[in-house]
Amino acid sequence: MDARLRRVNKEIADCKNDKTSNIQIDLVDESPFHLKGSFPGPEGTPYEGGRFEVDIVIPESYPFQPVKMKFITKVYHPNISSASGAICLDILKDAWSPVLTLKSTLISLQSLLCSPEPNDPQDAEVAKHYTTSKASFEETARYWTQVYAGGPGQRKGKNPSKGSVHDDIAIAGLERVHVERFENLGFDRNKVIDVLRRLNYRGSNVAQITDDRVVEELLK
């Protein structure tokens, strides 16, 4: 058994024996070098109550080269791509050390959910939402946790009976009244959602973006 395999097997066993961290690691297709990690969302954050899954690939030179990780579960967070699950975290790049383990790295991802770094974003649109209106960002992140990570409850003060229309607007982190205003001008709902999201039409930014600017983008 080579050193890499011994190391990975030990780390998986250590994680299974740890009953307190709630960090879980499973094999993918019986391969010890392709794994799926998962952990609960941190308490006191918009991710609380969700369970987040991470794809893990062990490189040939592990542990001297960092593991490759990306979120399987969709997460609304400045340092995680909402499209691909790619993660912006220094220990997955140049700050990696061979003393780090799979479990400690997953715990670092869990900590990242507690402490977004919008000035070093992986997802620029989400980072703009965070810096423009943290309350609105947290509401959207909480909604994503409910939809994608099995989180509890429903979006506060919103009517879930609106179905997929409500979902699309909530998932984009927008206000229904703003979307409907431009939709009532005859524009397609999906186009309106896309344009308002790209313009970061949220919070104090709304007053800074004229209707003419929005319509100009909608006509492109």
- Give the pLDDT confidence score for residue 161 in this predicted structure: 41
**pTM to 2 decimal places:** 0.86
> Rounded distance, CA 20 to CA 171, Å?
33
At 30, the amino acid letter reads: E
> Rounded distance, CA 32 to CA 138, Å?
36
Kindly state whether residues 72 and 158 are assigned to the same domain: no
Kindly state whether residues 10 and 110 are assigned to the same domain: yes
| pLDDT range class, residue 152, cuts 50, 70, 90 | confident
Any residues with CB less than 8 A from the CB of 118 and at least 6 apart, and which?
Answer: 78, 127, 130, 131
62 found inside a domain: yes
Which phi-psi region, left, alpha or beta, contains residue 189 (left: φ > 0; alpha: ψ -120 to 50)?
alpha
Q: Determine what percent of the chain is predicted with pLDDT higher than 70.
A: 93
Any residues with CB less than 8 A from the CB of 163 and at least 6 apart, and which?
Answer: none
Kindly state whether residues 9 and 110 are assigned to the same domain: yes
- Give the pLDDT confidence score for residue 58 in this predicted structure: 97
- Per the model's pLDDT, the better-predicted residue between 11 and 167 turns out to be 11
168 found inside a domain: yes
Token pair for 153: 């409850």
| pLDDT range class, residue 31, cuts 50, 70, 90 | confident
96 found inside a domain: yes
Kindly state whether residues 173 and 213 are assigned to the same domain: yes
At 207, the amino acid letter reads: A
- Give the pLDDT confidence score for residue 158 in this predicted structure: 45
103 found inside a domain: yes
17 found inside a domain: yes
Kindly state whether residues 69 and 25 are assigned to the same domain: yes
Kindly state whether residues 182 and 202 are assigned to the same domain: yes
Kindly state whether residues 128 and 90 are assigned to the same domain: no
Any residues with CB less than 8 A from the CB of 99 and at least 6 apart, and which?
Answer: none
DSSP codes, 77-142: BTTB-TTT--B--GGGTTT--TT--HHHHHHHHHHHHHS--TTS-SSHHHHHHHHH-HHHHHHHHH
Domain end position, chosen among 59, 93, 114: 114
CATH number where 34 lies: 3.10.110.10
User: Per residue in 33-80, pLDDT tens?
Assistant: 999 999 999 999 999 999 999 999 999 999 999 999 999 999 999 999
119 found inside a domain: no
- Whether residue 157 has pLDDT greater than 70: no
User: Per residue in 97-123, pLDDT tens?
Assistant: 999 999 999 999 999 999 999 999 999
Kindly state whether residues 16 and 45 are assigned to the same domain: yes
- Give the pLDDT confidence score for residue 159 in this predicted structure: 44
- Give the pLDDT confidence score for residue 9 in this predicted structure: 95
Least confidently predicted of 72-76, 134-138, 150-154, 209-213: 150-154
Kindly state whether residues 130 and 107 are assigned to the same domain: no
Domain end position, chosen among 114, 134, 152: 114
Whether 88 is catalytic: yes
Domain count, the chain: 2
Please identify which of the residues 88, 89, 174, 193 carries the catalytic annotation: 88
Based on C-alpha coordinates, what's the Rg of the chain? 20
Domain end position, chosen among 46, 81, 114: 114
Kindly state whether residues 167 and 211 are assigned to the same domain: yes
- Give the pLDDT confidence score for residue 151 in this predicted structure: 87
> Rounded distance, CA 133 to CA 126, Å?
11
73 found inside a domain: yes
Q: Say how many residues make up the chain.
A: 220
- Give the pLDDT confidence score for residue 120 in this predicted structure: 93
Domain span holding position 32: 3-114
- Quick one: how far is CA 207 from the chain centroid? 28
56 found inside a domain: yes
- Give the pLDDT confidence score for residue 19 in this predicted structure: 85
- Give the pLDDT confidence score for residue 1 in this predicted structure: 67
> Rounded distance, CA 50 to CA 41, Å?
5
Nearest alpha-carbon partner for 188 in 161, 210, 217: 217
User: Per residue in 159-169, pLDDT tens?
Assistant: 444 444 448 89
Nearest alpha-carbon partner for 89 in 63, 55, 117: 117
Kindly state whether residues 12 and 110 are assigned to the same domain: yes
Q: What is the mean pLDDT of residues 140-155?
A: 86
Any residues with CB less than 8 A from the CB of 201 and at least 6 apart, and which?
Answer: 174, 178, 195, 209, 214
Kindly state whether residues 171 and 95 are assigned to the same domain: no
